[in-house]
Structure 1
C-alpha cells in the first residue's frame, strides 16, 4: 500500500475512534440515565432507540480497529505496561480526588483496590482489552500460518458459533456473557486482522457501507418500537451489531476525507472512558451532577441528551490532557529507574 494512502486511512480510523468514544458516552447517558429510571414514549422513545442502535457499535469498533493494526505489529511490552499503568493511575487519582472532595473515607484496602482495578473488572472494557493485547502475539502467530481460504473458514466458523448460534440460542455454556466476553473481542480481532491482510472480494462505494449501517439501526429501531425491545438483539456479539460494526468500519476505511484533524487527540481519548466510567464517578455523574432521567418527557429530550453527552465528552477530554501527561511522565521515570 502507498504510504500516503496508509497514513490517510490511519487518520480516518482515528476519527472513528473519536466518534466511537462519543457514542460510548451517549450509550452510558441512556443506560445509567434514561433506561435506568424509566422510558419515555412516542417519538421520544423511537429516537432514543435509534440513537442507541446507532451507538451500540462503539466498543466493537475500538476492538476491530485494534485487530486491524495489531496483526501487522509485533508485541510491544512497553505498550502493555503503559496501558495497565495508565488505567491504574487514572483510577487511583480519581479515588483520591473523591476522598478529598466527597464524604468518602480513605482506606488503604480501597486504595489498593482502585490501583489494581484491572483485576476486578470495574473497567470491563479495559480488562478485556488488556487480555486481548496479551493474546495478540499468539493470535497473530496462528493467523499468519493460514492461507486466505483457511482464514475465511476460521472466521466463518467462529462467526457462526460465537455470533449467530450464541445470539439466537443464548446458551450460557458458550461463554458470551451478553457480549462482555474475551470471545467477542477475539472475533472482532479476527475480522480486523482479515481486513488488514486481504482485500474484499467486492468493491462498494463507501456511501453504501454507511447506508447499510444506518438502515440496520433503523430496522432494529422499528422492531423495538413496533414489536418488542429485545436486549439480546444488540448484544456486542449479535450478528446485527457485528455487521453494523463492520459497515461503519469499512465506511471510514474506504472514505477519503479531505481533512482529518483528530489524530492529535487520540492519546487522550481513552481517558474519557476512564474518567466518566469510573464507578465512583458514574453514580454521581448520572444521578446527581447531570440527572438526565429528569428530562425523559422533555420535547427536546434526545437533543438535550446529545448535548449532555458532548459536554461530558469535552469535559473529560480536558481532564484527560493533564492526566495523560502525568501518566507518561511518571511511567517514563519509573522505566528509567527500573532500567
Structure 2
C-alpha cells in the first residue's frame, strides 16, 4: 500500500515528473515510485485471490464480502464528503456529492468498483475455470498471456486499463499456477522477478535515450497489468509466501491498509495533497529530496492508519456488534421475493 501511495504522489501530482531534468531523481520517481505502484496493485490483489482459491466461492459469500467492503467504503466516502463540505467546498460540487453517496456504483475509487465487480463474478469464474480442467486452463492462460502479456511490450498496442478485466486476467494466471503447477523453487522465483526487473531497467534506458532526443514519454513498461509488472509483483508475493511468521502489530496495521487508499485517493483529497500541499517541483528543491518525500509519504501513511483506528473503534460498538446480520436479513428477504417471482412465472 505504501508503494501505491508513492505511485499516486507521482501520477496525480500538480507537477509532472517528466518536466524534471533528466537525472537520478527523475528516474527514481518514474521507475521506482510510479512503476512500484502498479506492482503494489498486483500484490494487493494477489493476496486476496490466493486465498479465494482455497475454498469454494458462492454467490452469497461473495455478496456478503461486497456488503462488508461497502460499509468501510461508504463510511470514508461520507466522512470525507462531510469534511470537505465544511472545510473546502471549492472542489466539491453536486456531481461529487452524488458519487459520494453511491461510491461503488459511481466509481469514486476505481479499485473498489473493479474489485466489487470481480467478487460478484468470482463464483461463476471460479467454477468455470475448474470445469475447464488442467489442459484447457493452461491453454486459456497461454492465450491471455499472448493477448495481454506479450503485446504489453509493444508501445501502441491495446492493453488492459485499471478495471475488472485486469483482475480477471490475473486470476486466470494465479489459479492456473496454484491449482496445477508445481510450486516454483526459490531460484525460479528470483529468476522470474529478476527478468521482470530487467525489463523495467531496459525500458528505463530506452526512455532515457528518447529523452535525449526531446521525446519524453515516460517509462512505458510501468503501465497497468504489463507482464513485467505482474512478474515482479507475483514474484514478490511468492517470496513472502515462503516465509512463516506471525506479528500482531503487522496484522493490526494491515487491517487499516485499505483505508490509506480510500483516504488518500479520494478525488478531493488527491487534489489537496498532491496539487496544493506536496507539489513535486517544490519538494525537489529540498536537500535529499527523495528521502524528504518518502518521509512525508510515511507520515501520511501513519496518519491514515491512526485515523482508521478510530473508524474501527466506531465499527466495534456499532455495525460490527452483529457482523453481517443486516446482510442476512436482506439476503433472506431477497431470496423470498426471488422464489415468489419464480413461482408466479412458472404458473403463468
Query: Structure 1 110/226 Cα, relative in aligned 2: closer, same or farther at 3 Å?
Result: closer
8 A contact 2:9–2:274 mirrored in 1: yes
* Partners of 2:243 and 2:311 in 1: CA distance: 33
8 A contact 1:49–1:224 mirrored in 2: no
8 A contact 1:29–1:305 mirrored in 2: no
Number of residue pairs matched?
315
8 A contact 2:197–2:228 mirrored in 1: no
- What's the offset of the Cα at 1:170? 4.2
Deviations 1:22-60 (A, max 9, x none): 000111111122526832432222222331333431112
**Which of these residues, 100, 106, 109, is aligned with residue 114 of structure 1?**
100
* Partners of 1:47 and 1:36 in 2: CA distance: 10
Deviations 1:65-119 (A, max 9, x none): 2221112232323221111222122111110011122345988875443020112
Query: Structure 1 66/336 Cα, relative in aligned 2: closer, same or farther at 3 Å?
Result: closer
* Partners of 2:143 and 2:92 in 1: CA distance: 50
* Partners of 1:40 and 1:257 in 2: CA distance: 44
* Deviates further, 141-150 or 247-256: 247-256
- What's the offset of the Cα at 1:276? 0.6
- The correspondence of residues 164-243 of structure 1 with structure 2, limited to 5 A, is 164-165=150-151, 168=154, 170=156, 176=159, 179-200=161-182, 202-205=184-187, 207-208=190-191, 211-212=194-195, 214-228=197-211, 229-230=217-218, 232-243=220-231
- What's the offset of the Cα at 1:255? 4.0
Bigger CA radius of gyration: 2
Classify the secondary structure of the residue corresponding to 1:57. helix
- The correspondence of residues 64-213 of structure 1 with structure 2, limited to 5 A, is 64-73=46-55, 74-75=57-58, 76=61, 77-103=63-89, 110-165=96-151, 168=154, 170=156, 176=159, 179-200=161-182, 202-205=184-187, 207-208=190-191, 211-212=194-195
Match of 1:60 in 2: 42
**Which of these residues, 316, 319, 324, is aligned with residue 312 of structure 2?**
324
Deviations 1:289-332 (A, max 9, x none): 33333123444222222112111111111111122343465444
* Partners of 1:28 and 1:113 in 2: CA distance: 20
8 A contact 2:99–2:108 mirrored in 1: no
8 A contact 1:269–1:317 mirrored in 2: yes
Match of 2:30 in 1: 49
Could you tell me which runs of 5 or more consecutive residues in structure 2 were left unpaired when the two chains were aligned.
212-216, 330-348
* Deviates further, 207-216 or 91-100: 207-216
8 A contact 1:64–1:191 mirrored in 2: no
8 A contact 1:53–1:221 mirrored in 2: no
* Partners of 2:43 and 2:233 in 1: CA distance: 6
* Partners of 2:8 and 2:266 in 1: CA distance: 12
For the pair 1:30 / 2:3, whether they are aligned, the reply is no
Classify the secondary structure of the residue corresponding to 1:122. coil
- What's the offset of the Cα at 1:166? 5.9
Query: After the TM superposition, which segments of 4 or more aligned residues of structure 1 sit over 6 Å from their partners?
Result: 105-109
8 A contact 2:141–2:173 mirrored in 1: yes
Match of 1:5 in 2: none
Classify the secondary structure of the residue corresponding to 2:16. helix
**Which of these residues, 280, 283, 287, is aligned with residue 268 of structure 2?**
280
CA RMSD of aligned residues (A): 3.0
* Partners of 1:105 and 1:217 in 2: CA distance: 36
8 A contact 1:89–1:115 mirrored in 2: no
Classify the secondary structure of the residue corresponding to 2:132. coil
TM-score, structure 2 normalization: 0.79
Of structures 1 and 2, the one scoring higher in RCO (CA 8 A, sep 6+) is 1
